[in-house]
Amino acid sequence: MAERSFKAEVEQLRIGANEVFHGEGILAVTKALLQSGVAYVGGYQGSPISHLMDVFADANDLMRELDVHFESSASEASAAAMLAASVNYPLRGAVAWKSVVGTNVASDALSNVASGGVTGGALIILGEDYGEGSSIMQERTHAFAMKSQMWLLDPRPNLTAIVDMVEKGFELSEASNTPVMLELRVRACHVTGSFVARDNQRPKLTVSEAAEAPTRDTERIVLPPANFLHEVEKIEKRWPAGIRYIQENRLNEHFGTQNDDIGIIVQGGLFNSLNRALELLDLSDAYGNARLPIYVLNVTYPLIPDEVRDFCSGKRAVLVVEEGQPEFIEHELNTLVRRADLQTRIIGKEVLPRAGEYSGQVIRDGVAKFLRAWAPDRAPAETPAAPPALTPAMVPQRPAGFCTGCPERPIFSAMKLVQKELGEFHVSADIGCHLFSILPPFNIGNTTMGYGLGTAGASAFKPRGKRAIAMMGDGGFWHNGLTSGIGNAVFNQDDNLTIIVDNGYSAATGGQDILSSKAENANRQTNNPIEKAVRGIGIGWAKTLTRTYDVAGMRDAIREALTSPEKGPKVLVAQSECQLNRQRRVKPLMAKAIKSGQRVVRERFGVDPDTCTGDHSCIRLSGCPSLTIKPNPDPLRQDPIAHVENSCVGCGVCGEVSHAAVLCPSFYKAEIVANPTRWDRTRDRVRNWVIGAVQRRSARAIAARTF
Amino acid sequence: MTEDRKRIAIAVLGLGGQGGGVLADWIVELGAHNGFVSQGTSVPGVAQRTGSTVYYIEMIPDGPAQPVLALTPVPGDVDIVIASELMEAGRAILRGFVSADRTVLIGSTHRVYAISEKSAMGDGRASGERILAAANERSRAFIGFDMDALSAKTGSVISSVMFGALAGSGALPFPREAFEAAIRAGGKAIQTNLAGFAAGYDAAQGRLAEAVEAVPAIRPTSAAGRAFFARIEEQLPASAHEFAIEGVRRLMDYQDARYAELYLDRLAGIRSVDDGADDWRMTREAARHLALWMSYEDTIRVADLKVRASRFARVRDEVKAAPDQLLHITEYMHPRLEEICETLPAGLGRRILESEGLSRRLHPLFKKGRHVKTTSLRWFLMLSLLAGFRRWRRGTLRYEIEQARIEDWLGLAREVAGRDPALATELILCQRLIKGYGDTFARGLSSYSRIIDRYRALGGHADASTIGKLREAALADEDGVALTGALEELQLAS
A202-248 pLDDT, tens digit per residue, is 999 999 999 999 999 999 999 999 999 999 999 999 999 999 999 99
Mean pLDDT estimate for chain B: 91
Asked if B202 reaches chain A (Cβ–Cβ under 8 Å), the answer is no
The DSSP 8-state label assigned to residue A233 in this structure reads H
Q: How far apart are CA B86 and CA B109, in angstroms?
A: 5
Asked if A705 reaches chain B (Cβ–Cβ under 8 Å), the answer is yes
Cβ-Cβ contacts under 8 Å, B17 against chain A = 403, 625
Query: pLDDT above 70 covers what percent of chain A?
Result: 99
- Count of residues in chain A: 707
- Asked if A287 lies within 8 A of B224 by C-beta distance, the reply is no
A385-399, A456-470, B167-181: range with highest mean pLDDT? B167-181
pLDDT of residue A115: 98
Query: pLDDT above 90 covers what percent of chain B?
Result: 76
Over the stretch A337-376, which tens digit does the pLDDT of each residue have? Answer: 999 999 999 999 999 999 999 999 999 999 999 999 999 9
DSSP, collapsed to helix, strand or coil, labels residue A695 as helix
Q: How far apart are CA B254 and CA A701, in angstroms?
A: 12
The residues in B 397-436 lying below 8 A from A, measured between CB atoms, are 432, 435-436
Q: How far apart are CA A340 and CA A242, in angstroms?
A: 20
The residues in A 164-223 lying below 8 A from B, measured between CB atoms, are 186-188, 190-193
Q: How far apart are CA B90 and CA B84, in angstroms?
A: 11
The residues in B 447-466 lying below 8 A from A, measured between CB atoms, are none
Q: Which residue of B has its CA nearest to A653?
A: B332
Contact status, residue B124 vs residue B54, Cβ threshold 8 Å: no
pLDDT of residue B356: 87
pLDDT of residue B241: 95
Which CATH code, of 3.40.30.10, 3.40.50.720, 3.60.15.10, 3.40.920.10, is assigned to B8-204?
3.40.920.10
Cβ-Cβ contacts under 8 Å, B437 against chain A = 613, 662-665
Cβ-Cβ contacts under 8 Å, A402 against chain B = 49-50
pLDDT of residue A2: 59
- Asked if B1 lies within 8 A of A361 by C-beta distance, the reply is no
Give the one of A47, A659, A706 whose C-beta lies nearest to B225's C-beta. Answer: A706
Over the stretch B383-429, which tens digit does the pLDDT of each residue have? Answer: 999 999 999 999 999 999 999 999 999 999 999 998 899 999 999 99
The residues in B 314-343 lying below 8 A from A, measured between CB atoms, are 315, 318-322, 325-334, 336
Q: How far apart are CA A80 and CA A78, in angstroms?
A: 6
Cβ-Cβ contacts under 8 Å, B6 against chain A = 286
Q: How far apart are CA A639 and CA A630, in angstroms?
A: 9
Give residue limits of the domains in chain B.
8-204, 217-295+399-427, 299-398, 434-494
pLDDT of residue B1: 47
Q: How far apart are CA A472 and CA A52, in angstroms?
A: 25
Size of interface A-B (CB pairs under 8 A): 361
Supply φ then ψ for residue A317, to 5 degrees.
Answer: -145, 145
**Parallel, antiparallel, or unpaired for β A192-196 and A20-24?**
antiparallel
β-strand partners of A572: A499, A543
Over the stretch B59-89, which tens digit does the pLDDT of each residue have? Answer: 999 999 999 999 999 999 999 999 999 999 9
- In this prediction, residue A507 has a pLDDT band, given cuts at 50, 70 and 90, of confident
Asked if B248 reaches chain A (Cβ–Cβ under 8 Å), the answer is yes
- In this prediction, residue B150 has a pLDDT band, given cuts at 50, 70 and 90, of very high
Q: Is the dihedral of CA A461, A465, A466, A469 positive or negative?
A: positive
Average pLDDT over residues A279-298: 96
Domains contained in chain A, CATH given: 8-248 (3.40.50.970), 253-378 (3.40.50.920), 409-581 (3.40.50.970), 599-675 (3.30.70)
Over the stretch B421-440, which tens digit does the pLDDT of each residue have? Answer: 999 999 999 999 998 888 88
- In this prediction, residue B365 has a pLDDT band, given cuts at 50, 70 and 90, of confident
Asked if A665 reaches chain B (Cβ–Cβ under 8 Å), the answer is yes
**Cβ neighbourhood burial of B187 (10 Å; 0-12, 13-18, 19+):** exposed
Give yes or no for residue A654 having a pLDDT over 70.
yes
Q: Which residue of A has its CA nearest to B286?
A: A636
Q: How far apart are CA A80 and CA A96, in angstroms?
A: 9
- Asked if B257 lies within 8 A of A705 by C-beta distance, the reply is yes
The DSSP 8-state label assigned to residue A486 in this structure reads I
Quickly list DSSP for A568-636: S-EEEEEE---HHHHHHHHHHHHHHHHHTT--EEEEEEEE-TTT--S--HHHHTT--TTEEEE--SSTT
Over the stretch A531-550, which tens digit does the pLDDT of each residue have? Answer: 999 999 999 999 999 999 99
Q: How far apart are CA B254 and CA A702, in angstroms?
A: 9
The residues in A 264-283 lying below 8 A from B, measured between CB atoms, are 271-273, 275-277, 279-282
Cβ-Cβ contacts under 8 Å, A697 against chain B = none
Give the one of A277, A606, A627 whose C-beta lies nearest to B315's C-beta. Answer: A606
Contact status, residue A92 vs residue A37, Cβ threshold 8 Å: yes
- Give the ipTM of the model, two decimals please: 0.93
Query: pLDDT above 90 covers what percent of chain A?
Result: 84
- Asked if B384 lies within 8 A of A698 by C-beta distance, the reply is yes
Q: Which residue of A has its CA nearest to B138?
A: A389
Shortest distance between the Cα of A402 and any Cα of chain B, in A, equals 6
Q: Which residue of B has its CA nearest to A133?
A: B43
Shortest distance between the Cα of B327 and any Cα of chain A, in A, equals 5
Over the stretch A151-188, which tens digit does the pLDDT of each residue have? Answer: 999 999 999 999 999 999 999 999 999 999 999 999 99
Asked if A412 reaches chain B (Cβ–Cβ under 8 Å), the answer is no
CA-nearest of B387, B402, B400, B388 to B294 is B402
The residues in B 159-198 lying below 8 A from A, measured between CB atoms, are none
Cβ-Cβ contacts under 8 Å, A706 against chain B = 221-222, 225, 252-253
Over the stretch B278-305, which tens digit does the pLDDT of each residue have? Answer: 999 999 999 999 999 999 999 999 999 9
pLDDT of residue B2: 47
Contact status, residue A278 vs residue A319, Cβ threshold 8 Å: no
- In this prediction, residue A641 has a pLDDT band, given cuts at 50, 70 and 90, of very high
Q: Which residue of B has its CA nearest to A400?
A: B51
DSSP, collapsed to helix, strand or coil, labels residue A397 as coil
Shortest distance between the Cα of A703 and any Cα of chain B, in A, equals 9
Q: How far apart are CA B267 and CA A540, in angstroms?
A: 67
Q: How many CA atoms lie within 13 A of B125 on its CB side?
A: 22
